[in-house]
Amino acid sequence: MLALLLLAALGQTVTAPEPPGTLQSRPAAGNPSPLQALVDRAQPGDTVRVPPGTYHGDLVIDRPLRLAGDGWPRLVGSGAGSVVQVRAHDVVIEGFEIDGRGGGDLGRDPAGVHVAGHRVTVRNLRIANTLFGVYLREADGATVEAVVIRGIPGKAPGEKGSGVHVWNTRGFRILSSDIAGVRDGLYIQSSYDGVIRGNQARDLRYGLHYMFSDDNVFEDNVFAGGDAGTAIMYSKRITFRRNRFLHNRGFASVGLLFKSCEDVLAEDNLIADNARGLFIEDSYRVIIRRNVIAQSDTAIVLYDLSGDHRIEGNSFVANLSPLFLTARRTNAVFDGNYWSENAGPDLDGDGHSDEPYRLSNVFDHLRGNLTAADLFAQGLAATAVGMAERAFPVLDPRPVVDPRPLARPPALPDVPPPFRRTTGPSLSGLAASTGAVGFGLAILARWRRPARRRETRR
């Protein structure tokens, strides 16, 4: 402020910086795109077609129109703010490559496309080198579709924004988009009635970071290679179907976390090769059914006396531990799940083991309190401790059982198979295995060692 007063005293024109949290205004003199004149001449409802080429500068769309690129023209921003600002309702922007030049003030939310209007459609874009990819701010009815977003190389996660950031928005849709190398793939806050379908978010901090947002549906997405995984907090009535939560391995990583949530349904998902598969804390009425939860250090963590959960019809395969329970008891119901380490017979042939399967034992309690115990989780000592505790159950006051464990893996035709990792920027990396999920888990095993090496390097 002192510098601004000094410049004003010298007779120079100055512009006070906009405070954080306010919408960006028009670009400063010298920064507008040459396309600005075309937009300013357009009438409401017009289509403005942009020929191939490279256009430097920032662009503001302040009237309802369709901005369409022919031959993927490049919009290269000034590096000081958002490359395209949408400040009107009923706008469509499609068919561009957008380069933010790695600049901008993170507190001002600079994005490839920053939307503050209703019923805006952003589709078929390739966005790179921007702090945020697409930012939806109070953008009811917005659609983000078939957008490829790549973050700024070399920046730490805390210095980047999200791939798609949604704030205070109702009735939004995020579809068929590919996000990598940003801080969080999808960040959704205080936003409702959304559909998030067919997206891929990988190689970032959180694949999905989500809070205070009710009545949203997630289907057919991939959240992979996150440092922390996915986190769902302070929300109600959320549905997850046919998603893949894969390779989320870090100090506190989890495939899918619910904290302070109510009335959640997670069905037909693949949750595999995570430090923790599912983590449920301070939540109520969570239904987990028909999922494959595999090759994780701990399949499920119930982190306090949350309850009224149903975990049924799932397939738990090759996890180091099935359950870590911090409370002395739980009213979560486990029923009719398959546990690959369960050796109980099915003598009557009804498809269920003849005896209940006990999920928790004293060694799992030790693992929860001593991280180093993971090193011995499949050793002879752990087996001996578990057998002794089952014979003389005086050490563990919190037994949890599945009364009707499945004797064989269930057919789960709607659970998606794994996918092979890629290093390229295209959606073709979703090369799923052609066999059943059981065959796909063998593919996951081959990826597990490289994921652990990456964690060691961090």
Per-residue pLDDT tens for 250-306?
878 999 999 999 999 999 999 999 999 999 999 999 999 999 999 999 999 998 777
Residue 216 buriedness (CB in 10 A; 0-12 / 13-18 / 19+): buried
Per-residue pLDDT tens for 340-363?
999 999 999 999 999 999 987 544
Residues in the chain: 458
For every residue of 18-73, DSSP letters joined together read PPTTSPP-SPPTT-B-TTHHHHHHPPTT-EEEE-SSEEESBEEE-SS-EEEESS--
Between 197 and 370, residue with greater pLDDT: 197
| Closest of 119, 187, 122, 184 to residue 148, by C-alpha | 122
Which token pair is 434?
């052609």
Per-residue pLDDT tens for 159-196?
999 999 999 999 999 999 999 999 999 999 999 999 99
Per-residue pLDDT tens for 399-434?
799 999 999 999 999 999 986 554 333 333 333 333
Largest CA distance in the chain: 94
CA distance 337 to 322: 11
Run of H or E residues at 128: strand 121-128
Half-sphere exposure of 155 (CA within 13 A, CB side): 23
CA distance 23 to 116: 8
Per-residue pLDDT tens for 99-141?
999 988 888 899 999 999 999 999 999 999 999 999 999 999 9
Q: 354-376 in b/e burial notation, b at 16+ Cβ within 10 A?
A: eebbbbbbbbbbbbbeeeebeeb
Cβ atoms 245, 255 nearer than 8 A: yes
Half-sphere exposure of 114 (CA within 13 A, CB side): 25
| Residue at 424: amino acid letter | G
Under DSSP, the state recorded for 170 is B
The segment with the largest mean pLDDT, out of 3-12, 14-23, 246-255, is 246-255
Run of H or E residues at 444: helix 437-457
CA distance 113 to 130: 9
CA distance 113 to 84: 5
Count Cβ atoms below 10 Å from residue 44 Cβ, excluding itself.
10
Quickly tell me which residue has 């030049």 as its tokens.
101
CA distance 313 to 16: 60
The beta-strand segments (E) located in 64-120 are 66-69, 74-76, 84-86, 92-99, 111-115
* Domains present along the chain, CATH in parentheses: 50-213 (2.160.20.10), 240-360+398-419+433-458 (no CATH)
Give just the sign of the alpha carbon dihedral 369, 292, 144, 226. positive
Question: What is the reported pLDDT for 303?
Answer: 86
pTM of the complete model beyond 0.85: no
φ, ψ of residue 453 to 5 degrees: the values are -65, -40
Average pLDDT in the 63-81 region?
97
Find the distance separating the first CA and the last CA of the chain, reported in whole Å. Answer: 41
